[in-house]
Amino acid sequence: QLRHIDTFSALKISLVLSIAMFFIWMVAVGILYGALSGLGVFETLNDLFGQLGTASGADGGSEVITPGIVFGGAAVIGAINIVLMTALCTVAAFIYNMCSDLVGGLEVTLSERD
């Protein structure tokens, strides 16, 4: 029976997995950004925002969507995900331990291969 999960172990493993998922997230954003940039999506959006800016009387020469903004936003979202996933897994282990004390834990049956 699985009666107790060490919350510190759950914290450590969830932190490591969250950091690994952060790097996967950043690579996925990089691939998606490269594909969309190659298709000219960001140039079109920057031109559109530039035309809207000149129609309203503002300076329309600046770019709105840049690689720094895209990767900076992705890094902020990834950092928030690291904190939330680590906290959620740790709290889930704590709640499991409390429920396990009430009902006796989770029964797991393991067998050897023949």
- In this predicted model, which residue has the larger pLDDT, 42 or 80? 80
Give one DSSP letter per residue of the chain, joined into a string. Answer: -B----HHHHHHHHHHHHHHHHHHHHHHHHHHHHHHHHTTHHHHHHHHHHHHHHHTTS---S-SS-HHHHHHHHHHHHHHHHHHHHHHHHHHHHHHHHHHHHH--B--------
Say what the pLDDT of residue 92 is: 95
Average pLDDT on 93-108 reads 90
Say what the pLDDT of residue 113 is: 83
Read off the pLDDT band of 60 (50, 70, 90): low
pTM over 0.95: no
- State the residue for tokens 């990834």: 78
The answer to whether 75 touches 26, Cβ cutoff 8 Å, is: yes
Say what the pLDDT of residue 57 is: 62
Instruction: Give the C-alpha separation, 80 to 111, whole Å.
Output: 40
